[in-house]
Every structure is written in C-alpha cells, then in structure tokens.
Structure 1
Amino acid sequence: MSKVRIYTLAKDLGVDNNRMLEILDGLGVSYKSVSSTIEEETVDLIRQLLADEGHEATAEPEAAAAPAQAAAAEPAQAAAKKAAEPAQPAEPSDIPSRAPVVTIMGHVDHGKTSLLDYIRSSKVAAKEAGGITQHVGAFEAKTSRGKIVFIDTPGHEAFTTIRARGANVADIAIIVIAADDSLMPQTREAIAHAQAAKVPMIVAINKVDLPQADVDRVKSDLTSINLVPEDYGGDLITVPVSARSGEGIEDLLEYISLTAELEDLRADPKGEFGGVVIESRVDKQAGVLATIMVQSGTLHVGDFLVVGETYGKIKAMTDSAGSRIKEAGPSTPVQILGFSEAPSSGELVVSAANEHAARERVAGRAEQRRDAEEARLRPKLSLEDIMGPLSETRTVNLILRADTQGSLEAIQGILARKESDDVKINVLLAGIGAPTEGDVLLASTAEATILCFSVTPAGAVQKAADQKSIDLKSFRIIYELIDEVDRLIKGNIEPVFEERYLGRAEVRMVIRHPKSGNIAGSYVTDGMLRRNAKAKVTRGKEVVYEGTIVGLKRFKDDVREVQTGYECGINLGWNDVMEGDIIEAAEMVEVEQ
C-alpha cells in the first residue's frame, strides 16, 4: 500500500500543515512530524472529512492563507484584491509571520561552507551574489515556500558566544555530517551547543555522492547519542545532500520551511525595534561597519541605536545584496554605518527616539553594570533561589572529558544508573582529551559542571572557568568522580528527614534561675541527651510540652551531651516543668534516598 507524506498531502488539499495535524489528531493517527508518512486509507478519510466540511476549492484558500507569498509575487494585484474583499476572520495571532533564521554547524571539512556556497549561488540572484561574504555575514535565499535567512558564522562556538550575551539569533540549526566520516568530535560539540540553545535541529548528511558514503552508518551513530532519525522511529529530520552536485538541497530547504511553519515564527514590523549584532569590522575608508539581524520592528536610516554602553546613528544601511536600503523589517540582515566603536557579536541592539534618549539609556546601562559588579561581592544565592522550589524534577547538566573512549563509556554507564524520578542527568558533551575554552563557554550558557577523568585542563581553560564561576574538576580515581556526581545529585533532591530517638531523663528537682528561668535537674535513664535536640515533656500519660533543649549543664559546666547514668541540668526555655516529668530527646536526621 502506498504512503503519502503529511506535508505533501496538505499542499495538495490546500490546507496548512497545522490544520492537517489537527485532523490527524482527531482521527487518532500517530505521527512524528509533518514529514511522516500516512497510509492511503487515511488519506481517503481526510479527503472525505474535508469534503463533508465543504472544502471544495484548494488553490484559493491556500493563497489566502499565505498572503506574504502572494504579495511577493504580485504586490499590486494582492493589494487590490485585499481592498476589494471583505475582512477575513482574525487569525490566532495578528502578528505576521517572519522568515526563519538558520545557522549551519558541524565538524571541520564536512562541507559547511560548500553547502552555504551552493545555496547562495543557486538561491540568490546573480546580481546579488557579489561580495556577500565580505560585507554581510548572512544572506537571504528565495525558495518556493518563501524567504530563508542563513547566517554565515565561524562555527558553533561563535553561535554559543552570541547566546552567552543573551541573544538567540538562530531559529533552526543545520548540523552538517559527512557521509564518509560520520560523527566527529566537533560534530558532537555542535549538537551539544544546539541542544543547549533549545533550537530545532535538522541533520544534513553531506557528501552522499562519494563512493565511500554510508548514510545508514551516520543514522545509526546518531542513535548512539540519543538522536533517533525519523526513519528509525524518532523525530530527528535527516536529509541526504551533496553540496557539490546539489542533490537533496531542495529537500533540505523544504524541511527548513516546514520546521519554521511548525515553530510559528512571528514578529511585528510595527512594534518596538530589537536586533542582534552578527559581526562587525572596521573598514579603512568607511569606518565601523556592523551587521545586524533585525528581530522585531523596522529599522530606518537615521534611527539612533544603542548597543551595550555605546550608541550611534544610522548614516547608511546595506542589505545582503550590497544594495543601499532605507528600511529593514524582521528577519532581515543589514549592514549599517554609524557606530563609533565596533560592537561585539551577540550584543543586543535597541532603538532610541533621539540622541538624548540614547544617552540616557547608555547611562542607565552603565549604572546597571556597576550594580552587578557590586552584587558579585554579596552572598551567593541558595540552591532554591537559583533552581526554584525543590519539589520539581531537577536536571544536572554535565560536560565530561576523559583520557580514553573506554573510560568515557564506563563513566556514562555508571551515570545512567544514577538517574531517578527526581533528578535527570543530562550529559551535554562527552569527549576525549582535555577540556577547552569552548567547553567552558557551553557550561556557562547551559549552567553545567565540567568533570574530567585522567586529563588536566590547561591553565588558560582553568582561568576562564574561574572567571565565569564554572565548576571544573579533575579526578584520577573514577569513584571520586562518581562521588562528586552524587553530591551534585544530592544537592538537587529535596532532603527527607525523620525523627530519631536519642534518650530520656527523669526530672528530680526544679532549680529556679534568675536569668535562665526554671532549670530541670534531671537523671538520664536511657540513651543520651544532646543540646539543641528536640524535647518532649510527658506528665503521666499526657504530653505537656514540645520544644528544644536550649542548654545542658554538668554542675557549672556547659556540655554538648549527657550519657545514661549521669545527672544534669536541662534548660528547655519553659518554666512550667515539674518534678517527676519525663523529658524525651530526639533529633531530625536525613534519610538516605
């Protein structure tokens, strides 16, 4: 029996993907994503259901559901049609959709740059291709489903550096893996960085045109790091491609558009401007040039921008094609001239009404920075302050480094057995060799601890960890490393206490003291009594008081505890104690879980 992909059926029937998924949910059909396949019988049911709903014409509703595409093709006609037609029912959100922003990461020599170059040359008009890499670290690709913006960043560490400064510039991460090499150390690092950023991932299996290419091996290796491809019953999209021949590139772009549609990316072009610096450089003739990704609102020539503790006025603005423009909306990369200093990658950009407002905002940020520096000297927050109520399930994020693959697998095997319903152990990255500054960067953004076995971090790496307050610990004995993990887990579990009996004493006389009140002169008949222990006073069969042993004395000396067979003075901070009372002591002890 033939099968049909969900997104293909949605396109044929003229309904959007989200509506199609709603129909499948109503029919009780299981699926992983819109790229999953369904049986022909299910297709017939869906066609019948839509027919019963009066869904006849398919092309027109689809065009109405995608006004942005229609407007791009025929702006004048679309505008006239919109004016002539009655107002359509309001969508769940009035904020328009925006183009997805994609970053490509992976191991060196696996074809990241080649893939970008192919997409750039095939999807960007020839007049727009010249000088893109030199001028703007991003470009826009035109596809049948609309615009896709690609960021041409140096790699996953730059991606996380941007995140470390508070900006999530990418909506989707493409992980490039060579079909002849499979998973490599930098591949694992790139995946860890994408997972820490919590952005959807699509794996592009490159170089499938090579004789030694083995796509199945790549998919199998992905399952070993808990990334299960759709072919194997998981939800990870994998696309075989060739950056040299162009094979699979259209499929990759289709999956990017589908993922973006499911993410429901929106931005208000009329809202407040917000953006992020992708890169900046100093040109000998022009001066400081900064590439900014517009994330919300619209940027205009003449606007005042604030970045960090500096500001500037836009004198000129250039798009990714190298053409001068006067305004730029959401998901548009632009290069601007107007800053006196080169801003750092990942810095957030906001607009100001005028120069006075820009100066005030810069002054406010400088004051906030000084307050933050002072706050570092204050006491650290408690575990509950940082992680929230201790009743919730907690995650311990770890980065592991070991001397051999065998050691790494042994440690991971032990850690897997340490997980419980209360605490989940999440190994962001596990690799062979000493930790790097990239590991420290990842740990700082993911709030992780770096544990090393039989490898020693370089001085610069240790210094970077200290500066960012990252726990970086090295061990030579595996059990010491496991003990450290136990300590981390214990700190993430709400402790359980139980009351444990200590001993009892009989009150034989009451001593009046002018400052301390009534002291119970007692004889310890069983166990021991300890200062600060919980105390329960019984008179006959009735409990008359519950409190704490405030003080213990042997003759005139203060003591910490008194054993069976000794006399002592007990101060309960309670003046109604009487001869014949029985004082029973107990303490709260933590129960091992």
Structure 2
Amino acid sequence: MDIATVKKLILPATLTVAELAERLGVSGPQVIKYLMTNGVAAALNQAVDFETAALAADHFGFEAESEDAAVEAAVEATGVAGQPGRARHPLLDLSGEDPATLVPRPPVAAVLGHVDHGKTSLLDVIRKTRVAAGEAGGITQSIGAYQVMHKGRPITFIDTPGHEAFTAMRARGADVTDIAILVVAADDGVMPQTEEAIQHARGAGVPIVVAVNKIDKDGANPDRVLQQLADRGLVSEQYGGDTQVVRTSAKSGDGLDDLLENILVTADILVQPKANPKRAAVGTVIDSHLERGRGPIATVLVQNGTLKVGDNIVAGAVFGKVRALLDDSGRKVQGAGPSTPVVVTGLSDVVVAGEVLHVTDTERAARTLAEQRALAQKQRQVQPVRHISLASLEAHAAEGETKTLNLVLKAEANGSLEALRGQIAKLGDDPAVKIKVVGEGVGAVSESDVNLAKVSDAIVIGFNVRPDDRARAAADDLGVDVRYYDVVYHVTEDIEKAVKGMYEPRMVEVFQGRAEVRRVFTVDGKNAIAGSHVLDGKITRNAVCKVLRDGAEVAHSRIEALKRFKDDVREVVKDYDCGITLADFNEFQEGDVIEAYVVEQQNL
C-alpha cells in the first residue's frame, strides 16, 4: 500500500459494522465480506471491537487510532503559542471535517472569578432574569448554560460554580469554552480564587477577557486592579498590553454592551469558532441529575452537528434515545445546532459532567458502546493511567530528550511558597529540562489542584501541606503524581536526580486498616475470596497488604478486588463486612488477619 494514501481514522472502543462502513466510506457488504474472509461473522447492526475495526480500516487504506490514544496524544500537543495545548476529545476535533462544510458558530464563554465578585449577578443582568436573587450566598446552585443575543449575534455563556468545575470538565477530555470571562471586583481586587481562575484559564489555552465589576461601589479602584492583573501577566490595552478589559456594573448595567462586544471581537480575531451543523451531533454534558417525573436529565452543549429528538445517544457509560429537548428558556425544541445549550431527557442514567455526548446510528450501538466504556472504566480503576512523573522525567533525560516539567506548587504559607518558587527557579538553566509553574497557592492540596495538574500534564508539589481525601482519590483516578516535602532543597534535589538519571523515590508503607478473615469462598476456580470483618481503620481497593497468621506474615500482596455483598467498592471502614481478593494469594484460613497499607514517600 502506498504510504502517501494512508489516512488517519479515529475509532471508538466498539462500533457497529454499519458505522464502520460509513466512516471508511465503503458499503456495508464490502466490510462484511472482508470480515468474513478473516473469520469474523457480523451483520450490519452487530458491533465489533477496536482491534477488528482497525484491521478492516487498514485493508481499506486507513490507519486506525483508538479514541483513548488520541486523547492522550492531544494532551501532549502544543496549542496557542506560549500556552499549554488544548486536549481536544477526538469527537470534538474538526481537523477531519471537510472545510467546505464548516460555518461560523456562536462563541462559548465561561464566567470565572473569586466568590462574591458578581459572576452570577453579571450574567443575570445580561440574561435579564432573576437567577442570582434565588441563590444562597451568591453561590451558583447548579451548572447552567444560556444563550443571549448582541447585535443580532448569539453568545453562549456557561455559568459554573467556579474554575474547579471548569477544569474538572477538561480533566475528562471536554473542550467546551472558547473564551474565559474573568470577573474581578473593583473594590476587592485580585483575590486567591482570582489567581486560581487565571491559572485554570491559561491551562485551558483560551483567551481571557477581564470584567472589572462593581465599579460603582464605594472603595472601587479599577486602576489598582489593572496593576494587579499586569503583575500576573494580564496586561490591559490601557497599559500597552493585549488583554481586553471592560469596566462593568451588574447593579447599573454599565459596560455590559462593551463586554459583549469584546467577546465577539475576541472570538472573531483569536478563535474563529466553526462547526458543521449538518452532521450527527457531538457535545459536552454540562450538568446532569435525576428529576422526579422525567428521570435522568442532562444539560448538553451541542458543539458540532445538530442534536434532534429521537437520536440515539451515548455519553460515557450512559446511553439513551432523545425523548425531548428543552432550550434555556424551558421551551421544547425539535433540534439544537452548534453552541446551543439544551436539556436532554431519555437517558439510562445520570451522566458525569464533562463527558462527551454523541449520536450513534442505532440504540444497540449506543448500548454496546456504553457497556464497553463501563468495563474499560472498571479496568482503569484497577490500573490507573500514570501521566508525567519524576520517574518518567528520568526516562526522557536518559534518552537525551529535553522535557518540559509542569508543576503545581502548594505550601502552608506565602513565605514558604516564595522560598519554594525561588529554589525551583534555580533549575531554569538546565538544558535537559524546562520547568514551568502552571499553578500555585497557599493551603492543602485540593481536588482542583489535581484537575489542573491533569489537564496541564503537571506534577503537584506540596510543601508542608497534605491532600484532602477528595484530592487523594482524584490523584489516584486521574493518575496524577502528587509529592510532599518538608525540606525545600529536597524538591530540587529530586528533580536534579531525575534529570541526571539517578532518581530513586523514597517510599514507605503507612498502615491503613486491619481485617479478620471470617470465611473463605472459592468460585469456579477463581481467586479465593476472604469474607472479612474490618477491625480497625479502613480497607481500600489496590492497597498493599500483608496476610498474618498467628502473628507471622505468610503473604505480601495487593488487594485486587473489594466487595460489599455483590458490589465492587472503593473502601470498607471499621465494623463492616467485606469480600477481599488478593492479586497472587489464595491460601486463606479463617482467623487470618489482613493488614492494608498505602505506599507513600518517606520524605513527608
């Protein structure tokens, strides 16, 4: 086959023969005939796995790549100059579309900023509704998406509870926003959450438009805000930079037309958003919950194609058929085009926010794909994917490659953060590694920090701080390397050793919990299940463990499966029963004690 004729084709984990034929641009019988010559008997509406589809793709002149691999590759890709790459989900990537089919679509803007700086009130005035008045403490109660008109052109706004939700969606591969609107109160100025919002917007690689809000409030000092923003790299045009800054008041409505105008201008110049409204729909789930009388519903932002009533859809491990579509005013519609937010009913379950929703040819194909993803999700929980780490940095250094090391820094106080930043800056001259701080702050390592590290492909460095439970769980799920230190020079020492190929992580087993084996079960020759009662602490899936018999260690293994009754669970706490299966040990006896440990760094 002539290499020059090979075209890239991104395929899901499973798809029907009819869908495969459509993507290959050949007839269904042609694909069926090829599959039969290779011993695979499948009808048009039957599903085949990625490996089988990849063989067929190769036969018809395509080079197949899995969706998961394409997402990982997108994370590594560079985006706008000076900004981290935007990890586009393959289904949202327009590079494979015929340029002739692409038409301009409305820009999508996310509103970010510090709590109580007027994000929701500002959007409320723009939408001319009373959403903000019904919210407790100014906190957005649910994620919504709304569309407004300015000079005959629509603009879609995403109103999130904060930059954490914004980045959490990106951590799952969603690429929703074209522009970030950073709201800063003119009286308060730049606050800690403002700085985090700037970091998260930069991590998304999207242009930032600043709204200096509450300009009519006592104590307002917009010029001080402009200086604070300039100190953080957002230099306004007034100061000779290129950041669009608009002075607004949600109370009086001043500056709102200018803000909308700046959004459109920024979109036209820097983004130029386009889509193909005539193809099958692809979008992102902004919010999802269970509603009495309607079942699971989801707020979806359609990003390409047109979503219609009756379409078969799949989002993550959830599938369904669109029963009804409601626009942001609650009115029923028959279809929704690009950049249009709609509420979707007809799903089999609640969807995780940030999952990409797309249309399939048949309900069976949607169900099969959802089941395949659910299985893959369970496998990833057992063996989470690891992203950048000091160990992988060492491998790149050993191969003579220059590696960019992105860091998220957290410390217990500003003084410590300054010291940590200063030490890391000293490594900037090393030709083997380029170090970039993509986020920093004071306080414990949070789930938001982990999500930022995931989308930026960064390592989290905690100095004299520890993670909360949600951050630890997120790090495990997303495969983010989170490291803790109490001596500043140990941070640079470990990075230097990794660069020189001498890095050895210092690890120690920390006691987590203890369980007593009460009964032993064996099923169809599979690994034995130890029916156990947790005596102390907690037992978690994937924990390192020791099996003790009469006080002596008889096995050292890992907890491969953990169940409560018939359900797989993440952890079981004291005074509860559970079933424990180990990776490489079956010889349990009643009365054995299983001690669980987590492996952590020694230099905590």
Is 1:216 the counterpart of 2:216 in the alignment? Answer: no
| TM-fit CA distance, 1:274 | 0.5
Q: Give the counterpart of 1:272 among 265, 280, 293.
A: 280
In structure 2, the CA distance between the partners of 1:182 and 1:379, relative to structure 1 (3 Å rule), is closer
1:288 is aligned with what amino acid?
Answer: P
Report the alpha carbon displacement of residue 365 of structure 1 after superposing the two structures with TM. 3.0
Determine whether 1:163 maps to 2:174.
no
Query: Does the residue aligned with 2:274 lie in a helix, a strand or coil?
Result: coil
Counterpart of 1:345 (choices 353, 365, 376) is: 353
**Cα distance in structure 1, aligned partners of 2:143 and 2:198:** 26
Q: Are the structure 2 counterparts of residues 299 and 457 from structure 1 closer, same or farther at C-alpha, using a change threshold of 3 Å?
A: closer
CA displacement, residues 158-179 of structure 1 (integer Å, 9 cap, x when unaligned)? 1111111111111111111111
Contact 1:162 / 1:347 at 8 angstroms: preserved in 2? Answer: yes
Answering whether residue 159 of structure 2 is matched by residue 152 of structure 1, we say: yes
Q: Is the CA contact (8 Å cut-off) linking 2:412 and 2:465 kept in structure 1?
A: yes
Work out whether 1:200 is the aligned partner of 2:207: yes
Q: How many residues align?
A: 396
Deviations 1:259-294 (A, max 9, x none): 111211000001232011111122212222211111
Residues 496-535 of structure 1 aligned to structure 2 (within 5 Å): none
In the other structure, the counterpart of 2:120 is 113
Q: Which residues of 2 match residues 362-401 of structure 1 at below 5 A?
A: 362-366=370-374, 368-369=376-377, 372=380, 383=392, 394-401=403-410
Partner SS, residue 417 of structure 1 = helix
Q: Provide closer, same or farther for how the CA distance between residues 478 and 380 of structure 1 changes in structure 2, counting only shifts above 3 A.
A: closer
The SS at the match of 1:322 is coil
Following the alignment from structure 1 to structure 2, what is the Cα–Cα distance between the partners of residues 240 and 234?
16
Give the drift of 1:361: 2.6
* Match in the other structure for 1:419: 428
SS of corresponding position for 1:438 = helix
Q: 1:11-55: CA deviations, max 9, x gaps?
A: xxxxxxxxxxxxxxxxxxxxxxxxxxxxxxxxxxxxxxxxxxxxx
The 10-residue stretch of structure 1 (263-272 or 482-491) with the greater mean CA deviation from structure 2: 482-491
Q: 2:193 aligns with which of 186, 191, 202?
A: 186
For residue 372 of structure 1, report the CA deviation from its aligned partner: 4.8
- Unaligned 5+ segments in structure 2 are 1-97, 132-139, 504-604
Q: 2:340 aligns with which of 315, 318, 332?
A: 332
Cα pair distance change 1:216/1:295, threshold 3 Å: same
Distance, in Å, in 1 between the alignment partners of 2:469 and 2:142 is 37
**Could you say what secondary structure the match of 2:348 adopts?**
coil
Deviation of 1:107 after TM superposition, in Å, equals: 0.6
Using the size of structure 1 for normalisation, the TM-score is: 0.61
Task: Measure how far apart 1:316 and its partner are.
Answer: 1.2
Letter in 1 for 2:319: Y
1:123, distance to aligned residue in structure 2 (A): 13
Q: Offset of 1:380 from its aligned partner?
A: 11
CA distance in 2, matches of 1:467, 1:326: 38
Contact in 2 for aligned 1:396/1:489 (Cα 8 Å):
no
| Structure-2 change in CA distance of 1:407 and 1:213 (3 Å) | same
Distance across 1 between alignment mates of 2:300 and 2:496:
45
From the superposition, tell whether residues 276 and 92 of structure 1 become closer, same or farther in structure 2 (CA, over 3 Å).
Answer: closer
SS of 2:428's equivalent in the other structure is coil
Q: How much does 1:460 deviate?
A: 4.8
The 1:395/1:120 distance shift into structure 2, 3 A limit, reads: same
Contact 2:463 2:484 in 1 (8 A): yes
Q: 1:434 aligns with which of 434, 437, 444?
A: 444
Instruction: Give the TM-score normalised by structure 2.
Output: 0.60
How far the C-alpha of 1:335 sits from its partner, in A, is: 0.8
**Secondary structure of residue in 2 paired with 1:399:** strand
Correspondence 1:285 to 2:293: yes
Q: How does 1:474-513 map to 2 (within 5 A)?
A: 474-487=484-497
Please list the CA deviations of residues 331-351 of structure 1 after superposition, one character each: whole Å capped at 9, or x if unmatched. Answer: 110112111311111111111
Q: State the alpha-carbon separation in 2 of the partners of residues 485 and 218 from structure 1.
A: 36
Considering only CA atoms, is the larger Rg found in Structure 1 or Structure 2? 1
> Structure 1 pair 387/101, CA: closer, same or farther in 2 (3 Å)?
farther
Deviation at 1:231, TM superposition (A): 2.3
Q: Which residue of 2 aligns with 1:297?
A: 305
Q: Which stretch has the larger CA shift, 416-425 or 472-481?
A: 416-425
Indicate how the Cα distance of structure 1 residues 432 and 136 shifts in structure 2: closer, same or farther if over 3 A, else same.
Answer: closer
SS at match of 2:319: strand
Give identity over the alignment, percent.
44
Deviation of the 1:384 alpha carbon: 8.1
* C-alpha displacement of 1:310: 2.5
Q: Secondary structure at the match of 2:104?
A: coil
Does the 8 Å CA contact 1:136/1:334 hold for their aligned counterparts?
Answer: no
The aligned residue for residue 367 of structure 2 is: 359
Q: Which residue of 2 aligns with 1:501?
A: none
